[in-house]
Chain A
Amino acid sequence: MSAPRQPWWRRLLRASRQQAQPPVAESQVPAAQPRLLEMGDIRAELVKAELARGRARVSERVEGVKSLSEREILACGQVLATLVDEVRDQIDEARHAMQASSARSEALTSRFISEMQQDLQTQEAAVGQVLQLADGIEEAVHAIRRLTRHAEMLALNSKIEAGRFGDQGKGFAVIAENLRELSRTIETAAGQVDASVGAVREGLPPVSDCASSMQNRTRAFIDHLADQARSQGDLGTNGLDVVIALSNEALSHLTFQDAASQKLSTIAGVLEQVDARIERVLAGETELEDAPDDETDDQQLPGQMILF
């Protein structure tokens, strides 16, 4: 197994020591100056080479991350946008279909109710006529009863008068008695008719109550259908809200990646600036402008927003 690679500054020291052998004594420094200067140049070249290599590696990696991030971010963004559009279209379609279905149901049910109302009105009219007939029959029965009472009175009087004529009145008495019998028979029949008419009256259901009850039940059914359609519509809307919330969350992850990628570019830029400044130092410049104050402590943080 090969030994781990030494850090660059150790390699630099080793190289400079190798160049400086044998070691230079203090008294020999002036004479050794060219060699020391040469050592300084070598160090400087080594430093420059290491910096350049390091910067190139960082830049390469930054570019790699950036291009990968951009491709991924664009692809994810497109997928998300398509997904949200498709879901929204499907939900709109479902909502329209439900509304159309609900409208059709409502129209059909309204027509049904209207036809039912007409039928009930016809029945009501028929029942009214029956009741009127019943009234007519009752009046007729009352008239018959009055007549039978008169006939009975007449029969009674006839019998009394027949009694005054003795045997000659016997035939007349029989007739009177027969008349009385007839009156009672008619009275009994009238009573039966009266009873039947009363039964018919009581047996007729209140038509208006039936109509009202059926109407209420049908309306309740329509309202139930409308509620169901609304609930399904709400479900669709809630589903869309969930998808939008998810896509917003994914969006925030994508923007974070994008921001990170831009920060990497900034780092690469800073390294280039550092490299350029070191080049100038190694080239012998002694007066460099101060690096701009980076105001690190006062910087706005990622995600922060201020309105002026």
Chain B
Amino acid sequence: MSKTVLIVDDSATIRQQVSMALKQAGFAIVEAADGREGLNQIDSNREIAMVVCDVNMPNMNGLEMIEQVKRKPEHKALPILMLTTEGQPSMVRRAKEAGAVGWIVKPFDANQLVQTARHLTKAG
């Protein structure tokens, strides 16, 4: 059975690109356009095995979303990978402290993303 990945990004093009890379590797995809939608998806969809999340988004940014998600015990083990243009150490630190498992600075390498997704969803 294929694993499901949630992509949270306000850019339709990024969602499309990440989706294409992961679908080719056999993952099922669900999408959200901001942190609030992402949070709702995580709460309602138990099939989600991993999240790929941008930082700068309207309504709720990625860091705030992680902090809210990780407050809930049932989502403690859910791997969340940040995919963003930002690279500032302070942001990276905040994401790590909030519970993110990794940080990728755009543009991403499709093969690297697929291997990381396989590794994180196998461990889960």
Using a CB–CB cutoff of 8 Å, the interface residues on chain A facing chain B are 70, 73-74, 77-78, 80-81, 84, 244, 247-248, 251-252, 254-256, 258-259, 262-263, 266, 294-295, 298-308
Is the Cβ of A304 less than 8 Å from the Cβ of B105? yes
A residues within 8 A CB of B111? 248
CB distance from B62 to the nearest CB of A (A): 14
Known: A70-B13, A244-B24. A255 touches B87 (CB 8 A): no
Is the Cβ of B116 less than 8 Å from the Cβ of A305? yes
A residues within 8 A CB of B86? 300
Kindly state the separation between the CA atoms of A81 and B19 in the bound complex, as whole angstroms.
10
B 64-103 contacts with A by CB, 8 A = 85-90, 92, 96, 100-103
Is the Cβ of B110 less than 8 Å from the Cβ of A266? no
A residues within 8 A CB of B12? 70, 74
Q: Which of B14, B16, B96, B112 contacts A305 (CB 8 A)?
A: B112
A residues within 8 A CB of B116? 305, 307
Is the Cβ of A255 less than 8 Å from the Cβ of B89? no
Kindly state the separation between the CA atoms of A32 and B111 in the bound complex, as whole angstroms.
71
Kindly state the separation between the CA atoms of A306 and B82 in the bound complex, as whole angstroms.
10
B30 proximal to A (CB < 8 A): no
Known: A81-B20, A255-B17. A295 touches B90 (CB 8 A): yes
Q: Which of A77, A248, A294 contacts B13 (CB 8 A)?
A: A77
Interface of A is mostly: helix
B109 proximal to A (CB < 8 A): yes
Known: A77-B17, A254-B17. A305 touches B104 (CB 8 A): yes
Is the Cβ of B110 less than 8 Å from the Cβ of A252? yes
CB distance from B66 to the nearest CB of A (A): 12
A residues within 8 A CB of B103? 300, 305-306, 308
Contacts across chains A and B counted by CB atoms under 8 Å: 104
Kindly state the separation between the CA atoms of A263 and B107 in the bound complex, as whole angstroms.
11
Is the Cβ of A248 less than 8 Å from the Cβ of B88? no
B11 proximal to A (CB < 8 A): yes
Is the Cβ of A74 less than 8 Å from the Cβ of B100? no
B residues within 8 A CB of A244? 24
Is the Cβ of B20 less than 8 Å from the Cβ of A258? no
Is the Cβ of A81 less than 8 Å from the Cβ of B16? yes
Is the Cβ of B85 less than 8 Å from the Cβ of A263? yes
A residues within 8 A CB of B109? 252, 303, 305
B60 proximal to A (CB < 8 A): no
What is the chain A residue whose CB lies nearest that of B24? A244
Is the Cβ of B87 less than 8 Å from the Cβ of A258? no
What is the chain B residue whose CB lies nearest that of A298? B89
B28 proximal to A (CB < 8 A): no
What is the chain A residue whose CB lies nearest that of B23? A81
CB distance from A71 to the nearest CB of B (A): 10
Is the Cβ of A295 less than 8 Å from the Cβ of B89? yes
Is the Cβ of B102 less than 8 Å from the Cβ of A308? yes
B residues within 8 A CB of A263? 85
Max chain B CB contacts within 10 Å: which of A254, A302, A305?
A: A305
What is the chain A residue whose CB lies nearest that of B19? A81
Is the Cβ of B21 less than 8 Å from the Cβ of A258? no
Is the Cβ of B107 less than 8 Å from the Cβ of A255? yes
Is the Cβ of A308 less than 8 Å from the Cβ of B101? yes
Is the Cβ of B11 less than 8 Å from the Cβ of A258? yes
CB distance from A133 to the nearest CB of B (A): 70
Kindly state the separation between the CA atoms of A262 and B89 in the bound complex, as whole angstroms.
19
Known: A77-B17, A77-B20, A81-B20. A308 touches B96 (CB 8 A): yes
